[in-house]
Structure 1
């Protein structure tokens, strides 16, 4: 028998945001994975570009990044973002698995803002809940319009990439912290807050089993625009100033830049916190049999001072999520480890398929 040596490089995990791209690739056997290549870059394109022109430029940037950072192969696992998905929690009677898919499709016909025939539909069983004297089954409906999915795949093709899977951000997030634990239910759960560009994702999960999922449509982009409007600055300068504050380990009340930025985004942070509080209340009422263990914060906005703000505002101990804890060896670069939460989604995507 001829033995063929197979590559031990994972598919490239690619998270494409409205104005950025984050890529991670792993190498090595499953029990000893390390980061082979990692990169994150921002886009600054003319807003007058058509969608096709913008996609062509993004694809060209991705090709350059792949070359500059020495990514191997062209297999990629990407994901759909908050702005590309329709998500809704629905409550159904207890049903066998083979019937559940049909019933979810019927529910989708009533709820989707576009025809079911034009969508890819998936669902996540979230577990049993009590409704008055009855036991119901909570299900999370996820749908994506075919046109959006086709555009996403076409962009990857333009970048010379071969999509082996299209995932969703919440699943990638959970994979970093509970790789391989799907199906192992327990009597407790964690809450994950993923602060992204377009939205803040609230996830309650028992291991990798999602119990509740909500997108709060406020994220980095809205914070940047708030600074630009409040301080009457060009958006590019507002982004630069806010990045300085985001990268700070603590806030300095005597620093004029810190004060100006925080005053500009305070109301948005308060609004996001209020939405998170509502989610916490819903979880405690709906899933009374599952104790909430931890509240873990990840994403582009994750920083020590934000952890302190949320802990005080929510009256709950919050922790900064470090997705590299799932690896046998961490990256050694200080710049990568300063705010590790920003790599969570892309790393989770790279972990989706076993290395071979």
Structure 2
């Protein structure tokens, strides 16, 4: 880029039923700078088989989810007009419930052959016809299976109709959608961008495991420098802890939700919160086990390579006590992610804002 040139990047809009986050960046010779940001969190939506009347007034999860998406879109409309966002170009995220992540093993192929060959391989493995889907993939590595070399491929798929519906909804807000991303990839882009614009260490770029902690979904990804090598979804989100916390503390679920909101807003890990999370450790084991399983998988493909750093992002990563308890069992240096600091190579700006990782990654869509 020529000296002094500034390029306005699109508005990144990370939308799920529990929250909406918006980030717009501007690229400069020195990296990127923030143009504007906005966020709003909504009340939790319980799983379909759960009724929590003291929070949701008896409404079904589908009714709550639909209402939240409409409220989120109204928030986006208002913020675009009032928050200093510039232009109408946007890159939006596909809500997590529309994304399917599927692991397949196929014979070694050239990239163009793999693109063509995945459709037949996925027949019967997706909850929809692959011919009606948009499919992207990551080649995680090679393995030996029954004395044959196979490629481990991670497929990310979504119904084309679901993507088109999200684009249409954004267009009705006056936005010109130039791209659609997915949460487990977008959350990594700030760190991949930082690697591409920083000085690589002599030993090579570190292997980062990035864990998105959301209310209803958890995603795990691994990057090394500018390369993404792994993604996986975990069915449970952090809201699955509400009932165990309520039982452990002897309080209603609504009060447990209020406690967790206070812990998310705390600048340090409150001893009360750490004690509570440790007391419901069995309910956290599923997420901890998945993180450890992903580390073992990475080591198996990369000939014993280890994860250098564990970075927690997403709205629930603001809960330092939660991050401490989960990270204590990983055996790896861990931190609350600060995606804006990572991209700008600046530290000490204040709160790390891990919840902005995916929105910032979406805004980087056209960055160089």
Instruction: Report if TM-score (shorter chain) is over 0.5.
Output: yes
Alignment of 1:147-296 (within 5 A): 147-179=161-193, 189-224=207-242, 226-227=244-245, 231-233=250-252, 235=254, 237-253=255-271, 255=272, 258=273, 262=277, 265-288=280-303, 290-296=305-311
Answer whether contact 2:298 2:306 (CA < 8 A) is retained. no
Which of 286, 293, 315 is the matching residue for 1:300?
Answer: 315
Counterpart of 1:301 in 2: which secondary structure? helix
From the superposition, tell whether residues 225 and 129 of structure 1 become closer, same or farther in structure 2 (CA, over 3 Å).
same
Which one has more relative contact order, counting CA pairs under 8 Å at least 6 apart? 1
Counterpart of 2:127 in 1: which secondary structure? coil
Cα displacement string for residues 142-173 of structure 1 (whole angstroms, at most 9, x for unaligned residues): 11012321331222123222211001222222
Cα displacement string for residues 73-127 of structure 1 (whole angstroms, at most 9, x for unaligned residues): 2211112243211111211111122211121111111311111232112222223
Bigger mean CA deviation after superposition, 82-91 or 121-130: 121-130
Question: How many residues are paired up?
Answer: 342
Answer whether contact 1:196 1:220 (CA < 8 A) is retained. yes
Alignment of 1:66-145 (within 5 A): 66-131=80-145, 133-145=147-159
Where does residue 3 of structure 1 map in the other structure?
Answer: none
Counterpart of 1:27 in 2: which secondary structure? strand
Answer whether contact 1:59 1:158 (CA < 8 A) is retained. no
Cα displacement string for residues 205-231 of structure 1 (whole angstroms, at most 9, x for unaligned residues): 222323222111222332345545765
Bigger mean CA deviation after superposition, 135-144 or 324-333: 324-333
Task: Give distance in 2, aligned partners of 1:245 and 1:187.
Answer: 34
Cα displacement string for residues 254-274 of structure 1 (whole angstroms, at most 9, x for unaligned residues): x5xx47853675333232112
Task: Give distance in 2, aligned partners of 1:135 and 1:289.
Answer: 18
Task: Give distance in 2, aligned partners of 1:170 and 1:23.
Answer: 16
**Displacement of 1:66 after TM fit?**
2.1
From the superposition, tell whether residues 51 and 305 of structure 1 become closer, same or farther in structure 2 (CA, over 3 Å).
closer
Answer whether contact 1:34 1:331 (CA < 8 A) is retained. no
Answer whether contact 1:187 1:289 (CA < 8 A) is retained. no
Where does residue 23 of structure 1 map in the other structure?
Answer: 22
Structure 1 length-normalised TM: 0.83
Alignment of 1:60-71 (within 5 A): 60-71=74-85
Where does residue 361 of structure 2 map in the other structure?
Answer: 348
Query: Which ranges of structure 2 fall in alignment gaps of 5 or more residues?
Result: 46-55
**Displacement of 1:18 after TM fit?**
1.4
From the superposition, tell whether residues 240 and 108 of structure 1 become closer, same or farther in structure 2 (CA, over 3 Å).
same
Counterpart of 2:8 in 1: which secondary structure? coil
Structure 2 length-normalised TM: 0.81
Q: Does residue 326 of structure 2 align to residue 310 of structure 1?
A: yes
**Displacement of 1:38 after TM fit?**
1.0
Answer whether contact 2:36 2:84 (CA < 8 A) is retained. yes
Answer whether contact 2:142 2:301 (CA < 8 A) is retained. no
Task: Give distance in 2, aligned partners of 1:144 and 1:72.
Answer: 30
**Displacement of 1:50 after TM fit?**
8.1
